[in-house]
């Protein structure tokens, strides 16, 4: 069983979001980078659990990005995984990124992504990779089991959940429920230093979108406080002023 | 060069998020001086399909094969892409709901069409085809230019108001030859009776300040009175006080209701990220220093156990007035 886990580098969740160069670029100064939480907590940990059950399992990590991704991918290797591949390209276009992953993913039985990245929130990479591989895509998984070469997956659908059975190869996007967050231990951190991190050049693909600029949400006018003993006033404001009820 | 809107159905009913997609797609078509067409997959009564014309769609391709009553991303994407190609669609609109997340990327790959996932506004076509979307889990927006010939937009639920007028759509009914689905669905478990969180106009949400799952009754009473959906902060879901699908925030569900009422939630940056696109935010918290007061529009500094039941009573009074 060969599993490919997609890893994305994202700003830490407490990061102040700001932009530079006329709002065309994300301001990276002072930002701590982390593994995208969905990639780390759910897809990577589930892959590690599968390997713990079946030692013959091979886990490779893949990221598409520049050398500045290396610390984050080493951090992922410290949690687990046998080796990592970095496709040396920088892009925000999901078709471009997914095409890079798909070019490599064809050799794997299972591709895991997180539900979405917490920076671009596209939730589309897994679907594009699957289409390019002509493989099924199980989105928004909440539980993942392997039964030989068949995956049994619970996934979120409109207004509920369903259980899917699918023969591998398949692409699965993972979210809460699939696994529990783990903390890397000292042995993992040491081992990660010597695990292979292969850098490969991108395949030639066109980009289909480009970011023009960013905006921050308009500042709030400030809170209107209502005394706790005058709840009726809050209801009046919500009804008459905010027209929200 | 028409606009093709994917109209999602479940058990023959058209979802609110799809009505938003139709209204949005019709507005895009108007902007581009072209026609808005729709595609419906699976069993829906003919009259109900034609009636969607009132949201602005002129023509609907209805592929009626029963196997489509179940969403299969691969089959759906192929049919949507084929219909787009056959009808010369230049723009494809899909809702960014759970179904849309499974298929939009696939359609994008099939058509080699750039995708803006999670759009919140109409495209700006003065210089390219620029679509605004929410990024950094609601902390910012990006304007994204789609440079490919065909463009795909998946529209964030609750971002575009449904409008209706007079009108009936022309319905073209077809049965397609469809491959065997690769994914076998062995169980479906739909939560019935609840308002789906991402579609809800009003959301009532509880945090650790409510002290335990046994205290959720006051929150549910308020939600019922307002026909609201219920949500919670992450520690509440982690402690299994509430189901995981209610967890909102940067690492949970991102929502944009008309009204968000936060009860006993401190307003951590990760929580706010998922809810700050709400139009109006109300906070009830006993700590005047809670960060939520900086983000909210209205607030009460007070004990939730006293304030919330009173709030429910006052709203009942308003509704019966
Ligand atoms: C990587 C990462 C991702 C995260 N993602 C999310 C996320 O997606 N969503 C999320 O919610 N959190 C997320 N968090 C957690 C977040 O940082 C906060 O810890 C969390 O939101 C706090 O939840 P809370 O407000 O319910 O609890 P607390 O912070 O404990 O706040 C409880 C509040 O209740 C008030 N209170 C207590 N008693 C009463 C009473 N009787 N009446 C009224 N008010 C009362 C208190 O004053 C306090 O403000 C994330 C954290 C990390 C590190």
- pLDDT tens figures, B228-273: 999 999 999 999 999 988 999 999 899 999 999 999 999 999 999 9
Q: Is residue B184 part of a domain?
A: no
The 10s digit of each residue's pLDDT in B169-225 is 999 999 999 999 999 999 999 877 677 888 899 999 999 999 999 999 999 999 999
B151 & B214 share domain: no
- CATH number at B232 reads 3.40.50.1220
Q: Is residue B183 part of a domain?
A: no
Question: Residue B1's CB: how many other CB atoms inside 10 A?
Answer: 14
Q: Is residue A244 part of a domain?
A: no
Judge whether residue A197 has pLDDT over 90.
Answer: yes
Q: Which residues have CB under 8 Å from A173's CB, separation 6+?
A: A38, A43, A112, A113, A114, A115, A116, A123, A126, A137, A138, A139, A140, A141
Spatial distance between the Cα atoms of A101 and A218, rounded to a whole number of angstroms: 36
B29 & B67 share domain: yes
The 10s digit of each residue's pLDDT in A13-66 is 999 899 999 999 999 999 999 999 999 999 999 999 999 999 999 999 999 999
- The answer to whether residue A163 neighbours chain B at the CB level (below 8 Å) is yes
Spatial distance between the Cα atoms of A3 and A58, rounded to a whole number of angstroms: 6
B168 & B204 share domain: no
Q: Is residue B190 part of a domain?
A: no
Q: Is residue A223 part of a domain?
A: no
Residue B228 structural domain = 197-320
The 10s digit of each residue's pLDDT in B10-21 is 889 998 999 999
Map residue A202 onto helix, strand or coil: coil
B274 lines ligand 1 (CB under 6 A): yes
Q: What's the domain count of chain B?
A: 2
B151 & B281 share domain: no
Q: Is residue B187 part of a domain?
A: no
B250 lines ligand 1 (CB under 6 A): yes
Last residue of a domain, one of B173, B205, B229: B173
Beta bridge partners of A52: none
Determine whether the interchain pair A13/B273 forms a contact, defined as Cβ–Cβ distance below 8 Å. Answer: yes
B140 & B217 share domain: no
Residues 206-245 of B with CB under 8 A from A: 226, 237, 244-245
Map residue B171 onto helix, strand or coil: strand
B166 & B213 share domain: no
The 10s digit of each residue's pLDDT in B126-169 is 999 999 999 998 889 999 999 999 999 999 999 999 999 999 99
CA atoms within 13 A on the CB side of B314: 19
- CATH number at B112 reads 3.40.50.620
The alpha carbon of B233 and the centre of ligand 1 are apart by a number of angstroms equal to: 6
Give the pLDDT confidence score for residue A220 in this predicted structure.
82
Distance from CA of B129 to the nearest CA of A (A): 10
Determine whether the interchain pair B259/A244 forms a contact, defined as Cβ–Cβ distance below 8 Å. Answer: yes
Q: Among B207, B291, B309, name the best residue to mutate to test ligand 1's pocket (greatest count of ligand atoms within 8 A of Cβ).
A: B207
B71 & B147 share domain: yes
Residue A88 structural domain = 2-216
B163 & B296 share domain: no
B161 & B296 share domain: no
The alpha carbon of B269 and the centre of ligand 1 are apart by a number of angstroms equal to: 9
Q: Is residue B186 part of a domain?
A: no
A13 lines ligand 1 (CB under 6 A): yes
Q: What's the domain count of chain A?
A: 1
> How many Cβ contacts (< 8 angstroms) between chains A and B?
275
B104 & B231 share domain: no
| CA-closest candidate to residue A172, choices A57, A49, A55, A3 | A3
- Find chain B residues with C-beta within 8 A of A168's C-beta: none
Q: Is residue A84 part of a domain?
A: yes
Q: Is residue A163 part of a domain?
A: yes
The alpha carbon of B232 and the centre of ligand 1 are apart by a number of angstroms equal to: 9
Q: Is residue A221 part of a domain?
A: no
> How is residue A152 annotated by DSSP?
E
Q: What is the pTM of this model?
A: 0.94
Contact B5, B91 (CB under 8 A): no
Q: Is the ipTM of this complex over 0.90?
A: yes
B156 & B213 share domain: no
Determine whether the interchain pair A235/B108 forms a contact, defined as Cβ–Cβ distance below 8 Å. Answer: no
- CATH number at A197 reads 3.40.50.620
Residue B158 gets the label, from left (phi > 0), alpha (psi -120 to 50) or beta, of left
Q: Is residue A42 part of a domain?
A: yes
């Amino acid at each position: 069983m060969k599993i490919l886990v997609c890893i994305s580098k994202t700003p830490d969740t407490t990061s102040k979001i700001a932009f530079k160069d006329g709002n065309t670029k994300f301001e990276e100064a002072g930002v701590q980078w982390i593994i995208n939480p969905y990639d780390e907590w759910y897809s990577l940990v589930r892959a590690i659990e599968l390997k713990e059950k079946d030692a013959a399992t091979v886990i490779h990590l893949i990221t598409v990005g520049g050398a500045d991704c290396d610390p984050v991918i080493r951090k992922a290797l410290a949690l687990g995984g046998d080796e990592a591949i970095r496709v040396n390209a920088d892009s925000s276009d999901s078709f471009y990124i997914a095409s890079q992953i798909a070019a490599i993913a064809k050799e794997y039985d299972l591709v895991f992504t997180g539900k979405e990245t917490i920076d671009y929130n596209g939730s589309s990479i897994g679907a594009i990779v699957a289409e390019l591989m002509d493989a099924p895509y199980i989105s928004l998984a909440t539980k993942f089991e392997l039964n030989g070469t068949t995956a049994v997956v619970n996934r979120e659908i409109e207004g509920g959940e369903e259980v899917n059975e699918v023969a591998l190869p398949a692409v699965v996007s993972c979210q809460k429920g699939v696994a529990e967050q783990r903390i890397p231990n000292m042995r993992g951190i040491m081992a990660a230093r010597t695990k292979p991190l292969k850098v490969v050049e991108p395949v030639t693909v066109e980009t289909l979108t480009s970011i023009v600029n960013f905006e921050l949400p308009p500042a709030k006018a400030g809170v209107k406080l209502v005394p706790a003993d005058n709840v009726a006033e809050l209801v009046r404001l919500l009804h008459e002023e905010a027209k929200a009820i | 060069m028409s606009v093709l809107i994917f109209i999602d159905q479940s058990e023959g009913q058209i979802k609110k998020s799809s009505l938003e997609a139709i209204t949005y797609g019709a507005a895009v078509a108007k902007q581009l001086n072209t026609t808005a067409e729709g595609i419906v997959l699976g069993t829906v009564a003919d009259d109900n399909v034609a009636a969607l014309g009132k949201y602005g769609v002129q023509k609907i391709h209805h592929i009626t094969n029963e196997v489509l009553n179940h969403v299969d991303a691969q089959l759906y994407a192929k049919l949507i892409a084929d219909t787009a190609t056959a009808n010369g669609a230049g723009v494809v609109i899909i809702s960014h709901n759970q179904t849309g997340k499974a298929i939009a990327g696939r359609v994008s790959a099939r058509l080699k069409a750039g995708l803006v996932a999670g759009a919140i506004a109409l495209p700006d076509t003065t210089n390219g085809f620029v679509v605004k979307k929410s990024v950094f889990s609601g902390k910012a927006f990006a304007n994204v230019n789609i440079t490919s010939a065909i463009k795909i937009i998946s529209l964030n639920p609750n971002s575009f108001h449904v409008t209706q007028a007079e009108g009936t759509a022309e319905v073209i009914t077809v049965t397609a030859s469809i491959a065997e689905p690769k994914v076998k669905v062995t169980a479906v478990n739909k939560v019935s009776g609840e308002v789906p969180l991402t579609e809800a106009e009003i959301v009532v949400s509880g945090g650790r300040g409510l002290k335990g799952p046994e205290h959720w009754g006051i929150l549910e009473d308020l939600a019922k009175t307002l026909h609201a959906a219920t949500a919670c902060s992450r520690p509440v879901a982690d402690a299994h006080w509430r189901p995981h699908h209610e967890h909102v925030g940067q690492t949970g569900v991102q929502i944009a209701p008309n009204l968000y009422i936060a009860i006993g939630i401190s307003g951590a940056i990760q929580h706010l990220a998922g809810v700050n696109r709400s139009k109006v935010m109300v906070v009830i918290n006993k700590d005047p220093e809670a960060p939520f007061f900086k983000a909210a529009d209205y607030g009460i500094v007070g004990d939730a156990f006293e304030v919330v039941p009173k709030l429910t009573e006052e709203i009942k009074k308003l509704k019966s007035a």
